Structure 1
Amino acid sequence: MNNINAIILAAGKGTRMNSTKPKVLQVLSDKTLLEHVLMQAQALCSQVFVVVGLGSEQVCQALDDDSINWVEQSEQLGTGHAVQQATPYINDDSISLVLYGDVPLIRQSTLKDLITQAQKSGVALLSVMLDNPAGYGRIIRKDNQIQAIVEQKDANTEQLMICEVNTGIMVLDSGLLKAYLGNLNANNAQGEFYLTDIIAMAVKDGKTIASVIAENDSEVAGVNDKVQLAELERVFQKNQANQFMQQGLTLKDPARFDCRGTLNFGQNCEVDVNVVVEGDVSLGDNTTIAPNCIIKNAKIGTNVVILPNSVIEDAIIGDGASIGPFARIRPEAHIGESAKIGNFVEVKKSTIGKGSKISHLSYVGDTIMGEGVNIGAGVITCNYDGVNKHQTTIEDGVFVGSDTQFIAPVTIGKNATIGAGSTIAKDVPGGKLSLSRTKQAVLKNWKKPIKK
């Protein structure tokens, strides 16, 4: 929308967080609280102003967004004073949306409704109905028209019974906002300049205060401590899970699923309990993920089976592949079509060819592996010499016996066989059997050491 300014108040320290990070930099899902609010503001507004105070340098560095206009509130004198720091940079012939950097679940659709109402009346505020309104400013209405907002500490007994409360989120004609801010005073229990006092001023001027009532309290809930942060995390995850299930994803227990990023999926995908998705993840059709897996920045094909307790990060998994259980697929791994990565296998920066199998207890790093390769239990590519990494090449059809070490750089030719227990430090020709073992012997004079 054009000619709309967002003013996001983010100057609070958040003492109750007991953290060295400012409150707005606490993380919910994969974003800071402030980033969640910014995402909605930037989608709706032509300009975004963020008012910062304590810890401002840390906040600015963390976001590092050139589209943000940073405004400093050097003294903490209330919400009205905070908004006033941004108004010198805003044109009178615009409208201003006031948001809070610690209210992460505010919905774009709600803000659109609020902006529409303000464009008609000049002033619109967002309220919510609470069963327990303690601590919040009460909305005072007469003949259903908003007359004022009374803060908890300034409310009388009758006003304290009101369940409709102010969320602090409002939209105003910018010219009106500037005029009213200039008339604020600190004659209240807190000794602060309340932004909410401008509502009574607007009513006195004969303005009709439009309003939107939020659908649920979590949408407008602020975060003041780690308990509230955890509560909103669960709400956020529940909302995501419901959306995914409506789009066709099967979640065995949506309460035990976390998506901390972006998840795209095909048809007939199934995710079991305690799965964590991070970053950008995509699943092809008919892919299943078993319990206790972590999937981060991965492209996973169709008909893939990921077995329990597996970790996949920055990797590509081909169609029909099987991963796990207890497998770790590290960055820059590309697991080919119908390949098998079995239990307690780690793959890093390697390409595993179509139909190849690494079934048990192996480490494969910096390796190019062809198609139809069979790797026995306990095989290791020794890719690091203490200074540099080196590559192992295993061509199509190779069979590697258990407990083999490849001392990279080394190339194993097509259809070669490596005998179990070998240490391979030289290239192996294709189609041949290679092994390195000493002749088995029994040492007659050897004695078992005795513990001293």
Structure 2
Amino acid sequence: MTQTHIFHDLPIPDPPTTARPLDVVILAAGAGTRMRSQLPKMLHEVCGRPMVAWAVKTAHDLGARDIVVVTGHGAAQVEAALARSGVRFARQDQQLGTGHAFLLGAAELRGDADVLVLYGDSPMLSAETLNAMRRLHTREANALTVLTSELPDASGYGRIVRGEGGQVERIVEQKAASPAQLRLTEFNSGVYLMDARAPDLAAHIGNDNAAGEYYLTDLLALYRGQGSRVAAFKIPDPSEVMGANDRVQLAELARLMQRRINERHMRAGVTLRDPATSYIEDTVTIAPDVVIEPGAVLRGHTEIASGTVIGAYSHLTDSRLAANVQVKPHSVLDGAVVGENSDVGPFARLRPGTVLEEGVHVGNFVEVKNSHLASGVKAGHLAYLGDASIGAESNIGAGTITANFDGLGKHRTEIGAGVFVGSNATLIAPLKLGDAAFVAGGSTVSADVPEGAMALGRGVQRNIEGWSLRYWRKLAAAKSEGQLARKLPWLSGWLTRQE
């Protein structure tokens, strides 16, 4: 499965006022067996990015100096997907716990920086939230700050036990909690911001527990053992730290992320007729005063300029649309460029390499591939234009095709300006039609047409008088009169009139 490498430029929140650099360790070694997939868990996508790529993007938005991704299950695939994202990798070949994974990642850091721990399967955590956490961490001179939230039922999470002054005394795991502690609603997200001592302290984490694993939560006790301040940064929305362990949770993450993306566009001046059915990936750029009709899908590096309308159930991928374009319902654009005041569809398909200049009309059931249509070109319906260049103001009739493939290679059709191609023409490439040329409807054209000439490439019509009468009389002789009357009630009257 192909994975995209996308790190889109969005407004980056201002970092907190601190002289200390920030390093980030992203834990992404989990197997994700409940996904029931051959694809590594971290590469399952949420709104156009693999889950782990969201964590990398957040780290970049925070201005992180070093970013280390700890990989394990499907390590080669995860590392390939992030190869161009400006991160380094550490491999956890044995799954010995979060403390062990952090220690492997921290070994790749230069040191002398605050260290933030993130998770590769928690894409909702925003840079805004983490910058607020950094400001608290700096203002209170914390050695360790843990990100927490509250749930009415925090089952499955470690509980936060606070002491005097709101400091965190310890984190109690679910299976080790007392009945009173199980009633606590504040839970540990697993996201930590720590000072530069964290890698050295992590080396002292033990595995004296039932699972024999090294838990990152033990860092809290190690910091407190040195008399350092440990605090919590509690956020109001627990969905920000939501992870995905199966497809149901993955779908819920996608729903939440899509709502966040759609709200961002609407607040920036985009009209979504039905936000609940608009799928827009994070990497899509949309200008104010664009209208998106219900069911539209916008993916990849699609860019849409002001005044454009995207019709219902249209699907756009990696396409650039200029101002005041009309994409009518059920159209598919993939890798296309569409000029100002053009219209596409309904039920049109623009494949990679398609360029429409200003004021081009591509109508219903027209497919265009690797072709350049100059300004004012019209292809109203039922046509295939592949590997072609078409000059300004030319008209392509219904049913016209460019026969561009000879079984071995593709060939181009070059059509000049002001050319009129009649309906049901077949243009056999390689072929050139000069400016102001005409192609008669129904023609098959295999030789170049000079400027201003008309090509007529169809057989001579021959009318055979009386053919129908002989045909139907022969058929009538083989059928009973009742059969014919039932099936073709007009026929008996017509035959009578011919006598």
TM class, shorter-length = over 0.9
Match of 2:483 in 1: none
Match of 1:64 in 2: 83
1:145-156 pair list within 5 angstroms: 145-156=167-178
Answer yes or no: is the 8 Å Cα contact 2:341–2:358 preserved in 1: yes
Match of 2:105 in 1: 86
Q: Superposition RMSD on alpha carbons, in Å?
A: 2.1
> Partners in 1 of 2:416 and 2:200 — Cα distance?
77
Match of 2:312 in 1: 291
> Partners in 2 of 1:58 and 1:412 — Cα distance?
49
- Larger radius of gyration, structure 1 or 2? 2
- Identical residues among aligned pairs (%): 37
Once the two structures are TM-superposed, the CA of residue 5 in structure 1 deviates from its matched residue by 1.8
Q: 1:262 to 1:183 in 2, by over 3 A?
A: closer
> Partners in 2 of 1:178 and 1:330 — Cα distance?
51
Answer yes or no: is the 8 Å Cα contact 2:261–2:281 preserved in 1: no
Q: 1:436 to 1:65 in 2, by over 3 A?
A: closer
Any idea what the Cα deviations from partners look like across 1:14-44, whole Å, max 9, x if unmatched?
1101111221111112211111101112333
1:257-272 pair list within 5 angstroms: 257-272=278-293
Any idea what the Cα deviations from partners look like across 1:390-417, whole Å, max 9, x if unmatched?
2212212221111000111222222222
List structure 1 segments (4+ residues) > 4 angstroms apart after TM superposition.
Answer: 442-448
Answer yes or no: is the 8 Å Cα contact 2:334–2:352 preserved in 1: yes
Answer yes or no: is the 8 Å Cα contact 2:68–2:109 preserved in 1: no
Of 11, 16, 31, which residue of structure 1 is paired with 2:49? 31
Match of 2:187 in 1: 165
Answer yes or no: is the 8 Å Cα contact 1:114–1:170 preserved in 2: no
Work out the number of aligned pairs and report it. 448
Match of 2:69 in 1: 50
Once the two structures are TM-superposed, the CA of residue 92 in structure 1 deviates from its matched residue by 5.3
Match of 1:348 in 2: 369
Secondary structure of residue in 1 paired with 2:284? strand
Once the two structures are TM-superposed, the CA of residue 240 in structure 1 deviates from its matched residue by 0.6
Answer yes or no: is the 8 Å Cα contact 2:369–2:385 preserved in 1: yes
TM-score (norm 1): 0.94
Which amino acid counterpart does residue 382 of structure 2 have in structure 1?
L
Say whether 1:319 aligns with 2:343: no
Structure 2 stretches lacking a partner, 5+ long: 1-14, 476-499
Which amino acid counterpart does residue 399 of structure 2 have in structure 1?
G
Q: 1:95 to 1:368 in 2, by over 3 A?
A: same
Secondary structure of residue in 2 paired with 1:415? coil
Which amino acid counterpart does residue 66 of structure 2 have in structure 1?
Q
Which protein has the bigger strand share?
1
Q: 1:337 to 1:88 in 2, by over 3 A?
A: closer
Match of 2:32 in 1: 14
Of 392, 412, 416, which residue of structure 1 is paired with 2:433? 412
> Partners in 2 of 1:367 and 1:179 — Cα distance?
64
Secondary structure of residue in 1 paired with 2:118? strand
Structure 1 stretches lacking a partner, 5+ long: none
Of 233, 236, 240, which residue of structure 2 is paired with 1:212? 233
Any idea what the Cα deviations from partners look like across 1:102-156, whole Å, max 9, x if unmatched?
1111111222222333342211110011122110000001233211100111111
Which amino acid counterpart does residue 14 of structure 1 have in structure 2?
G
Answer yes or no: is the 8 Å Cα contact 1:416–1:432 preserved in 2: yes
Which amino acid counterpart does residue 114 of structure 1 have in structure 2?
M
Which amino acid counterpart does residue 65 of structure 2 have in structure 1?
S
Bigger shift: residues 433-442 or 316-325: 433-442
Once the two structures are TM-superposed, the CA of residue 66 in structure 1 deviates from its matched residue by 7.5
Match of 1:278 in 2: 299
Answer yes or no: is the 8 Å Cα contact 1:118–1:173 preserved in 2: no
Say whether 1:435 aligns with 2:456: yes
Answer yes or no: is the 8 Å Cα contact 1:391–1:408 preserved in 2: yes
> Partners in 2 of 1:160 and 1:235 — Cα distance?
28
Of 74, 79, 82, which residue of structure 1 is paired with 2:93? 74
Once the two structures are TM-superposed, the CA of residue 334 in structure 1 deviates from its matched residue by 1.1
